[in-house]
């Protein structure tokens, strides 16, 4: 099976292979020297997202992430499972920050630029719309959406979402981060972050804080099962997931 490699250098002497696996979320690493490695991804889009992390910090060292070839985003059919590579790059960057990794504002700007050039994946937009629709139907009635109900004013939107959440306990019962997020008082802002390319660096930092807070709450509820932003194991740049959360 062919893979899509990227070259990583500047690795700290104290960084373990396990840390590299966690940072890049991949299956195979070649380490010709201690400070360098060749990371292999199954998907071209995962390798492309890894290149976005050039200049990121791991274990106190600044990594150089390069490639000898240009990696492209794959064309996908509607039958393909939704995975990390369908997420906006800004969302993936927010997940990195939420996990405690250090990414410079230049990297965050790079993520925003990639989203602006590529647009938001139709498959991810469809997923988000389905959440909006199903949540609206459960809380507001048939043919209702959370986003459609809260367009009137920002204040009304926040109060509407808060009231719905208190009455139905959506955020407490939901296992998916996105469902909990759009059912919160900040739901409209979260929805805009993931479905629009109009973002600023500060928006990524704000989303990272929301993800980190949700993860802490999930850990408090069930320490044994909380391993990612969706309540299940979260992938960051490589591979696919059972539930959409973050791999490219």
pLDDT tens digits, residue range 54-100?
999 999 999 999 998 888 776 665 555 567 778 999 999 999 999 99
**Alpha-carbon distance 142 to 152, whole Å?**
20
Give the contacts of 141 (CB within 8 A, at least 6 positions apart).
none
Strand spans (E) along the chain: 4-9, 28-33, 36-41, 57-58, 61-62, 64-66
**How many other CB atoms are there within 10 angstroms of residue 214's CB atom?**
21
CA-CA-CA-CA torsion sign (154, 178, 225, 169): positive
C-alpha 95 chain-centroid distance: 5
**Alpha-carbon distance 72 to 88, whole Å?**
15
Question: What tokens were used for 49?
Answer: 């997202």
Residue 200 predicted with pLDDT over 60: yes
Query: What's the pLDDT score for residue 78?
Result: 54
On whether the CB atoms of residues 83 and 241 are closer than 8 A, the answer is yes
Separation in Å, CA 211 to CA 14, 34, 72, 97, 136: 28, 33, 28, 9, 22
On whether the CB atoms of residues 60 and 13 are closer than 8 A, the answer is no
Q: Residue 206: pLDDT band by 50, 70, 90 thresholds?
A: very high
Query: What's the pLDDT score for residue 227?
Result: 43
Residue 184 predicted with pLDDT over 80: no
Q: Where are the alpha helices (DSSP H) in 101-195?
A: 105-118, 122-139, 146-149, 154-168, 170-173, 177-182, 187-195
Query: What's the pLDDT score for residue 79?
Result: 57
Give the chain's radius of gyration (CA, Å): 18
Query: What's the pLDDT score for residue 77?
Result: 55
Where is pLDDT greater, at 225 or 76? 76
- Partner residues linked to 8 by β-bridges: 37, 65
């Amino acid at each position: 099976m062919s893979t899509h490699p990227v070259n990583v250098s500047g690795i700290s002497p104290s960084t373990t292979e396990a840390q590299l696996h966690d940072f890049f979320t991949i299956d195979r690493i070649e380490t010709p020297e201690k400070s360098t490695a060749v990371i292999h991804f199954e998907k071209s889009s995962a390798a492309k997202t890894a290149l976005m992390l050039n200049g990121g910090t791991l274990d106190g060292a600044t990594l150089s992430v390069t490639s000898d070839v240009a990696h492209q985003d794959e064309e996908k059919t509607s039958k393909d499972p939704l995975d990390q590579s369908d997420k906006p790059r800004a969302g993936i960057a927010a997940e990195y920050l939420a996990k405690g990794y250090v990414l410079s504002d230049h990297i965050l700007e790079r993520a925003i630029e990639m989203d602006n050039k590529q647009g938001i994946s139709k498959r991810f937009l469809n997923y988000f719309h389905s959440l909006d629709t199903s949540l609206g139907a459960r809380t507001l009635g048939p043919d209702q959406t959370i986003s459609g109900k809260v367009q009137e004013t920002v204040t009304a939107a926040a109060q509407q979402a808060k009231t719905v959440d208190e009455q139905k306990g959506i955020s407490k019962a939901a296992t998916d981060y996105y469902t909990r997020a759009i059912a919160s008082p900040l739901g409209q802002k979260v929805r805009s972050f993931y479905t629009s390319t109009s973002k600023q660096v500060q928006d990524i930092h704000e989303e990272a804080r929301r993800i980190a807070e949700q993860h802490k709450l999930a850990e408090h509820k069930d320490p044994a099962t909380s391993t990612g932003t969706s309540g299940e194991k979260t992938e960051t740049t490589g591979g696919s997931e059972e539930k959409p959360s973050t791999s490219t």
